[in-house]
Each structure stands twice: as structure tokens, then as C-alpha cells.
Chain A
Amino acid sequence: MEFRTDLSYTKSHEWVKLEEDTATIGITDYAQDALGDLVFVNLPEEGDEVEAEAVFADVESVKAVSDIYSPVTGVVSEVNEELLDSPEMINESAYDAWFIRVDNVTDHTEFMTAEEYEAYVENEQE
């Protein structure tokens, strides 16, 4: 299981890279592993507003669909459309397979460091 130290993490298993008021968001390596082979991802559109702790996307495996929660409030500036054709990228490298970039970030949920998130995940597994 990989935990990258340059990223922030949420309790609902998203990772965030926040640079000034722009955030790049994806799901964690732990999340992709728990969800299993992903077959599709529903993404928002550019210009959509996202809100911290609200659903902004969902990911599909063969027999399940799971909501993905936004760690930040802001406006979607870019969407990783590659994931639409190749959802396996999320399973292969969760931290490179970003979902969206958000500009004008005004608020965010509580973040964890890599270390804290690792402990949180271990705790959750028990």
C-alpha cells in the first residue's frame, strides 16, 4: 500500500494536492484496492461547482458503484478524461490517476498527512 508524503488525505479516502487555491483530487491507493477492479468513472464537467464533503463523482466496479466526495469547495477547472477510456489507470496508479482539478478553493474538509492517514487506514482495517 502506497502513501505519498506530498499529498493530503481525507477520511473518505480521497487524496488532495493543494497548491495555493488550486486542488488536484483523486482516490487513494487504499481506496482503489478496497473497491477492486474499476470499470468506469462518472466525472463532473468543467465549470461545475463542487462542495467540500459533497459527492462529485462515482466509480463503478462490475457489481458496485461508490460515491466519491469532494475534499474542497471550488470550481472544476479540469477533468481527467483519460479515465473515461481507461479506468484501469486508477487501479494501476491511484496517485497519478487524478480525477479533477479545482480552482478558487474557498474551503476544505479536515486533511490528514500521509502518516496520519496510514494510521487511520490501519485502524479501519481492524
Chain B
Amino acid sequence: MLIYEKSRQGRGSSLLPACDVPDHPLPEKDLRAEAPGLPQVSEVDLSRHYTELAHKAHGVNDGFYPLGSCTMKYNPRINEKTAALPGFTGVHPLQPESTVQGCLQVLKETGEALSAITGMEAFTFQPAAGAHGEFTGLLLIMAYHQANGQTQRTKIIVPDSAHGTNPASAVMAGMSVINVDSDESGCVDVAKLRELCESEEGQEIAGLMLTNPNTAGLFDPNILEITRIIHDCGGQVYYDGANLNAVMGIARPADMGFDCVHLNLHKTFSTPHGGGGPGAGPVGCRAHLAPFLPGKTVEEKDGVLTLAKPAQSLGEMKDFYGNFLVAVKALTYIKTLGAEGILSASQNAVLNANYMMAKLRDLYDIAFDTKVCMHEFVMDLSRLLKETGVSAMDIAKGLLDHGIHPPTMYFPLTVHEALMVEPTETESRETLDWAIGVLRDLHQLAHTDPEALHQAPVTTPVRRLDEVGAARHPVLRYTREEA
């Protein structure tokens, strides 16, 4: 039941004291005709309502969450505790700098740590999410080209396996998109890329957006050649940090030849996803792009931290300094793990993915099968669908009945019946063995009783929902029934 349906006229909590100054009524013409129809509920109603909602959701604490490309690692509790410190939550964003030295230290230290991990020289924390980071990074590249008089560079190369935000961000940044196909191994087709960059169009290329390891979980072996080709034609190379969890302490984007990156603190650096946000998508760049960064960056002068706007800043991406408390959580995580722990996180993320892949390979086809994958792998269920009529969606829904959050479905788009599995480093071998067992059982069930999988899930609070009806005749809010 909705909280609105639990409302009873006259119920409520006593939260505010009586007003201790004379009332000051505003003119009638400025006042709303009717009070908003908000719920009128008691505190116990509230407490039970949200407990009930939590029971109908699935968090990382509820069980295995191998959602590919989303890095659903465990979210440490200490992070929540530090982010809730009144010394952070009670600070107004427009306080004098001398009174926010702690906040500035968080931004500075987090930036330095991310620089160590990526090899980038400067970071901005203004971008609120990965897609916002992409948009920022691309504007950064545009601003750089414009400052160099290269206003004709408005085309951005995006691989066909890229996340949908890549092309959408490019358009927002005023760029047009050139798609490049992947080769048979799922990596960038270097020959085609070279041909493109060496053609006349090369002069119009602003840059390339790439995820490495890519969306199929493969580290592109030609990465140095790829970034060189782009630089040779005058472009910049953007690193989508969605998959950084595979390579921390192992390979740095700057050393691969990238000029700027965005990172997802809510993936790689263990801050919670919150049911869809808030995350944080800080953007880092090499020194030549730093003067164009948005917002204000932290500088140190005689032991005092100050905020300064970069010389040729592209402007503001949002108000203030980004999702600050998310940075507090990420910094807490980095301090806890340290150099060794960060490396170990990536190693174990890759180990767990390979272990699962190795134990499923005989039953499930692996897309772009290579001997080893990085932190995730993609299963292609086309053959299973053909043989049994059971789709990737059916297997995903079957997993729900076992308390496992399904892998990412139907992504990347280049694989037809894709299930993308990312176990992360925070799962034990016992959990992996159990999940492998469930996936193997479901594969068998697909052959013996496919109908059972078409019907799944049966143990969840609701069964499969009518998405077509929802979209055809949208009901997007609760409306009180007329008495």
C-alpha cells in the first residue's frame, strides 16, 4: 500500500516547536489555493512503511549481486559513519574558506589518491555521476580544441559496444558521433580506426571514448597503438572509468595514453548505489587539460587550502562542489585499503570473474572467449534460446527465485542474448560456488522444464510486470480517489 493510501486526516508527528516570533502572513495573491495532498501519517506508520519497502528490495547486504559493469561490491559501514560526521554534514557550501579546511582536505586527498591510481594530474569532483562525468570530459576536450583554434574538431569516435550514455553525452557536448565496429575479438578494429584517422575526416576528430577493459571484460591489447593513432591525428582520448575495478595498481589510464577519465566512486570506490544514486563521477585529466576543468579546484598555499577557478575553466557542471559526501566515503575506503589493498581488490575482482567463467564455460557460451577475462565476462545464451526457448531474461528471472540478483541482461548490444557477470572481489569462494551451482541447475532446468523458467520468478513480492501496459497508458503518480 502507498504511504498516501495510509493517510488519515488529522494524523501526524509533532516535529516543530511553536513559532516564537509574530506571524507574518504573505499577501493572499501569493498563496496556494489548496494545501498539497501530502500524507498524514503517524510516526509508527512511517517506520513500518519503510521497513516494508526495504523488505521488497534487494541490496548488496541481501545477497550476491553479480550485475555486470555496475561493480556491486560490498559497501563498508565505516564509510557511512564517516560521511555522517556532523563536521561534514553541517557545513554550508558557501562558508568562508577558513572554516571549511576539512572539506577542502577531503577533496584534495581524494584527488591525489585518484591521481595515483589513474596517473592523471588534476581532478574535479563536480560531476555527480558517470554520465555527468562523460559530459564533463567531452566538454573539456571541446574547450581544449577551441582554445587551440581547432574549432572544426567536433567528431567523437565511440565503439559500437559502448554504453548508451557515451553517444548521448557526445551529443550534449555538441559533438557528432562516429561509431567504429569492434573486431572479432570484441576489441577496437585498429585497421579501421587508422583508416578513419588518416583520412580527411581525421582533421575533424575531437577524440575517442573508450572503456578499457571494454564492456566484454577484455583488456584491449592494442591500447597503446589506439591512443597513438588518435593523438597522431590531433585528437584526445577519453577513458570511461566504468571498468577501472579491474586494473587498479595494474595499469593506469594515463600510461595507456588517455588524456582524461571519469571514475565512478559508486562502483570502484565502494560507495553505495542508493537505489540509483547519488553517485559521483569525478573527472581527472592530464596537465594540458587542467586549465579547462569546471568548478573550483583546491590549491595549497602556506599550509592553507583555498579554492580557485582554473584559468580557462569551461564553467560549472552543477552547483557547488559535487556530491561531497560521496567523496568522503571514497576517501575512507581508499584510506582503509591503502596501496596494497587497492591492488588486491582489483586482483581478486579479476580472480573471482575468471573462476566463475572457468566453472561455467562448459555449459554457457562465453562471448569473445579468451583464456582469461578481466573483472567480468559475458555469457551468450543464443544457443540455449535456440535449443530450449529459454532466453537470457528467463535465466535472469530464474535467479531471482534463488535470491541472486541477475547479471546485466542484453548488454553489450553486440551480443544477442547477453548475461554480463561481474562477481566483484568482495564475494567468497563459497558464494561463488553456490551461484555457479544455481546457474548450472538453471541450465539443466532450461532443458527439462523450460516452462518453469518462462514463469519465473514465483517467490518474489510480485511476478513479471506488464511493462507494455505501463508505457502505453502511463500512471505516474497516485491520485486520490474521489469519495
Contact = CB atoms under 8 A, between A and B. Distances in A.
Asked whether the complex places CB atoms of A and B closer than 8 A, the reply is yes
Contacts of B468: 37, 39, 61-62
Contacts of A39: 468, 471-472
Contacts of A86: 472
Interface string A46-60: 000000000000001
A79 B471 CA distance: 21
A92 to B, nearest CB: 12
B123 to A, nearest CB: 36
A113 to B, nearest CB: 33
Contacts of A88: 472
A40 interface: yes
Interface in A13-38: 37
Nearest to A61: B468
A39 B468 CA distance: 6
Contacts of B467: 62
A87 interface: yes
A86 B472 CA distance: 7
A87 B468 CA distance: 11
Interface in A75-96: 86-88
For chain B, give the interface size range. Answer: under 10
A63 B467 CA distance: 10
Interface string B460-478: 0000000110011000000
A88 to B, nearest CB: 6
Nearest to B410: A63
A88 B366 CA distance: 38
Contacts of A62: 467-468, 471
A119 B442 CA distance: 40
Contacts of A63: 410
A121 to B, nearest CB: 22
B214 to A, nearest CB: 22
Contacts of B472: 37, 39-40, 86-88
A35 B10 CA distance: 51
A126 to B, nearest CB: 16
Nearest to A39: B471
Nearest to A36: B468
A86 B467 CA distance: 15
Interface in B379-433: 410
A25 to B, nearest CB: 22
B201 to A, nearest CB: 23
Nearest to B471: A39
Interface in B135-178: none
Contacts of A61: 468
**Most B-side CB within 10 Å, residue of A39, A63, A86, A87:** A39
B184 to A, nearest CB: 24
A85 to B, nearest CB: 8
A32 to B, nearest CB: 13
Contacts of B471: 39-40, 60, 62
A67 B410 CA distance: 21
**Most B-side CB within 10 Å, residue of A37, A61, A86:** A37
Interface of A: 37, 39-40, 60-63, 86-88
Given A39-B471, A87-B472, 14 more contacts: A37-B468, A37-B472, A39-B468, A39-B472, A40-B471, A40-B472, A60-B471, A61-B468, A62-B467, A62-B468, A62-B471, A63-B410, A86-B472, A88-B472
12 contacts: A37-B468, A37-B472, A39-B468, A39-B471, A39-B472, A40-B471, A60-B471, A61-B468, A62-B468, A62-B471, A87-B472, A88-B472
